[in-house]
Structure 1
Amino acid sequence: MSSLAPAQGRVPPSTSLVLGDQAGGLRALFEASRALEGAPFAYRWANFQGAAPLFEAQRSAAVDTAIAGDLPVLAAAVGKTPLKIVATRVGKPESLGIVVQPDSPLRRVADLRGQSVVVSSARGSISQYQLYGALEEAGLKREEVNLRFVLPTDAAAAFASRQIDAWAIFDPYYAIALQQGARILRDGRGINTALAFITASEPALADAGKRAAIADFLQRLGRAGEWAQANAAAYAKVYAELTRLPLETARTITARAAVAGRPVNEADIVALQAVADRSARDGILPLRVDVRAITDTQVWRAAA
C-alpha cells in the first residue's frame, strides 16, 4: 500500500497532458504497470533521445512534464526553461559511465589525457558531470581532454562503427554499448547521485486543471514504481517489447533504472544543490542555481 497522500483537486474532464519522455523509459514503466489506466485526464507521450531536446520542448510549452537526471534539470533552469521540480526518482549510479572500444589501449581514466571524448547528449548532461568527476578523481584537468558533444543516437552509430574511442553515456545507450562489446573505463558509482526528477512546466502548474492532473499523474508514478520493483521480470519484458531491445539488455537497464518515484524531500534538495554548486564551480553551468527556488513540494506531498 502506498504511503502517499491523495492527489489534490479535481481534474476537469477536458484536461489533457503531454508527457515528455527519454528513450521510451517512462512510457514503458507506465504501460507495463498499467498505472495510467482510468486516468481522469487525456494524455499523449512525446519521446526524445536525450534531455537537451526534451527541455527545448518544455521551454516552448510543447510538453507539460519532463523526466531527466540531476544536471540536465539544472541546465534547463539556467536556460530559462519555466519549470518546477515536482517529484524525485531514485536509480543506481552504475546506469552511466565512460566506455571505450574493447581493444582500446585506454585502460584507466588517466589515459584520457590528450584524447577526444564524446559526451552525450549535450552540455549540462549527467554524462558531462560524470566525466568531469572522473577526470578530477584521476588528477586530470578538463583542458587536457578534447570534448565533443553529440546526441546519443548519432554517437551510438559512430561508436559502433569505431569512429569514437571514448564515450561518456547513460542508459539505455550505455547498456546497449556494453552489450555490443564496449569496455567500461569508469562508471557513475561515487560520482553520480543516481537521482532523476520529474519537472512540470510553470504554465501547466498555473492551470488549475493541469495542476490537478499532474498531481494525479505523480500518484500513478509512485504506484508504477512500486509495481516495477515487485514485478521486475514483467517490467523488463514490456520494456524490451516497447524498445525492441534484447531481453537481457532490457533486464540490465530496468534493474538499475530510476523507477521508484516519490515526493521531493529535503535530502533531495540538498543533494541537487551540491550538484548545482559543483557544476557552477567547475564551469559546467555558467551560474549557481538555487534548487529550492525551482522546486514545488506542494504538487505531490507525502502522507502525514
Structure 2
Amino acid sequence: MHSLRRWNALLFAALAALAMPGLAGCERAAAPGAADAGTAPVTLVLGDQVRMTRALVEASGAFDGIPYQVEWANFQGAAPLFEALKAGAVDTAPAGDSPTLAAAAAGTPFRIVAVATSSPRGVGIVVPAGSALRSIADLDGQELVVSSARGSIAHYLALGALKEAGVPAERTTLSYLQPVDALTAFKSGHIQAWATFDPYLASAELSGARVLRDGEGINSGDGYLAVSERALADPAKRAALADVVRRLARAQEWRNANIAAYTGLYARITGLAPDIAERVIGRGHTGLQPVTPAAIDRLRRVADVYAAERLLARDIDVARLFDTRLFPATVEP
C-alpha cells in the first residue's frame, strides 16, 4: 500500500497539469474524408482505446473513400473515454461490459449499437515473477491494484476471482490506477498484485509476470460499440455512423482472415513491441455483430453482479441501453 502511495506522489505533478481529467491520456488525430458535393461535411469523433480500432481501420483500409470526416481520440482506458463521451467530446466509445455499465449508471447518454467478443484471457491478475503470492487466496489481507477504475473489466475479474477463492472482498485492499501508470509501477516493483487487461496484461506477462487468474469463466469477453445519444439524434451523423459500423464489421472480417499480416501492421500502428502485439491478437476476437437477445442477457448478468456489490450509482434497465436500428441483423455488413 505504501509503495503505491509513493508512486502516486511521483505522478501527481504530471496529472495536475492536465486541464481536463476526463481526457487524461487522450490523443487526437484526423483521418481525411470527403463530403458529398453541395453538403456541409459531417465530422465524426471516434473514441478509441490504445489505438486498437484505428489500427484495424488503417490496416484493412476500411475507411477508404468515406464520404465524411473522421477524427480519432485515443484513451488508455474506458473510464476516461466514457467521460469524454459524456462531455460530448467523442461520438463513439468501444468498451467492455463492466465500464459500459458503470458509464450508464453515471448517467452517460449513449446506446449500444453492436457487439464483439474477445477472449476472456485478455484480462488477468498478475504478480511479479518472484512474488510469494501463489494463488488468489494469498490476496487475503493484501493490496490489489485494479486498472483502470471501479467498474472496469479488471475490477469485475477481481471481484469474481476473490469470491471464487473464498476471500471476502473487504479483506483485500483494492486500489485503482490508470493502466499506463500501473504498468510502469508494476515493472518498477511498486505493485505486488495487479488486475489489468490487454495490451498491458500481455506486456506484463512477457516481462515475466505470473498470472494468478485470467478471465476465463468469469469475464464474458463481450465488448460494445457505444454511440452518444447526441450523435444518434443528428440525422447526418446517424447515417455516417451506420456506415462506420458496417465498415468496422468488414474490417474485423478482414482481420480474422489475415491474422499474420494484421499482427505486424497492428504492432507498427500502435507502437507495441511485436511480441506483445502477437500475444494480444493471438488471444482471438470475433467480428462485430448486431445486438442479439443473448448479448443483452449476458450484460444483464454482469449488471446483477455489480448491483449485488452496490457498485452501480443507480439501477439500470439493461435492455434500454441497446439500439438495434443502426446495425440491424437483417443487414449484411
Q: Check whether TM > 0.5.
A: yes
- The alpha-carbon distance between structure 1 residues 257 and 170, as it changes in their structure 2 partners (threshold 3 A), is farther
**Structure 2: distance between partners of 1:69 and 1:121:** 12
Between the aligned partners of 1:81 and 1:171, the Cα distance in structure 2 is 25
Offset at 1:259? Answer: 5.3
Which of 143, 149, 152 matches 2:176?
149
User: Equivalent residue for 2:162?
Assistant: 135
Structure 1 position 281, deviation (Å): 0.5
Check conservation: 1:196, 1:258, Cα contact below 8 A: no
Question: Is residue 2:279 matched to residue 1:279?
Answer: no
Contact 2:154/2:195 (CA < 8 Å) preserved in 1? yes
Deviation at 1:262, TM superposition (A): 1.0
Aligned ranges 1:146-295 → 2 under 5 Å: 146-256=173-283, 258=285, 260-295=287-322
Structure 2: distance between partners of 1:257 and 1:239: 14
**SS of the residue aligned with 1:262?**
coil
What letter is aligned with 2:83? E
Distance 1:284 1:136 in 2: 15
SS of aligned partner of 2:288? strand
Cα separation, 2, equivalents of 1:154 and 1:178: 16
Q: Residue 32 of structure 1 aligns with which residue?
A: 59
Unaligned runs of 5+ in 1: 1-9
CA distance in 2, matches of 1:38, 1:82: 30
For 1:87-135, what per-residue CA distance to the aligned partner results, in whole angstroms no more than 9, with x for missing partners?
Answer: 1011110001100000101010000000001000011100000000000
User: How far 1:14 moved relative to its partner?
Assistant: 1.2
CA distance in 2 between partners of 1:159 and 1:168 (Å): 11
Using the alignment, how far apart are the partners of 1:242 and 1:154 within structure 2? 21
Question: Aligned-pair distance for 1:66?
Answer: 0.6
Gaps of 5+ in 2: 1-35
Equivalent residues of 1:277, 1:289 under 8 A apart:
no
Is the Cα contact below 8 Å between 1:97 and 1:170 reproduced in 2? yes
Aligned to 2:326: 299
Name the counterpart of 2:128.
Answer: 101
Q: 1:13 to 1:300 in 2, by over 3 A?
A: farther
Aligned partner of 1:44 in structure 2 is 71
Shift >4 Å, 4+ stretches: 10-13
State which drifts further: 90-99 or 276-285: 276-285
- For 1:83 and 1:34, the matched residues in 2 are separated by 27
Residue 108 of structure 2: which of 73, 81, 87 is its match?
81
Q: Percent identity?
A: 50
Cα distance in 1 for partners of 2:315, 2:189 equals 37
**SS in structure 1 at match of 2:240:** helix
RMSD: 1.4
Say if 1:194 and 1:258, in contact at 8 Å, map to a contact too: no
**Amino acid of the residue matched to residue 268 of structure 2?**
E
CA distance in 2, matches of 1:120, 1:259: 24
Check if 1:117 corresponds to 2:140: no
Q: Distance in 2 between matches of 1:258 and 1:280?
A: 28
- What is the distance in 2 between the residues matched to 1:159 and 1:257? 26
Residue 25 of structure 2 is matched in structure 1 by: none
Residue 172 of structure 1 contacts residue 253 of structure 1 at CA under 8 Å; is this kept in 2?
yes
Q: Verify the 8 A CA contact 2:106 2:313 in the aligned structure 1.
A: no
- Are residues 245 and 21 of structure 1, via their aligned partners in 2, closer, same or farther at CA, if it must alter by over 3 Å? same
CA contact (8 A) 1:222 1:260 kept: yes
Question: For 1:228-261, what per-residue CA distance to the aligned partner results, in whole angstroms no more than 9, with x for missing partners?
Answer: 0000011111110012222121011112254510
Tell me how far apart the structure 1 counterparts of residues 250 and 316 of structure 2 sit (CA, whole Å): 31
Of the two structures, which has the highest relative contact order with CA contacts closer than 8 Å and spacing of 6 or more? 1
Letter of the aligned partner of 2:46 in structure 1?
L
Structure 2 CA distance, aligned partners of 1:257 and 1:283?
Answer: 32
Q: Which amino acid aligns with 1:283?
A: R
Q: Give how far 1:13 is off.
A: 5.5
Partner of 1:4: none
Output one character per residue of 1:186-221: Cα deviation in whole Å (capped at 9) or x when no partner. 000000000000000000000000001110000011
- Give the aligned residue type for 2:99: P
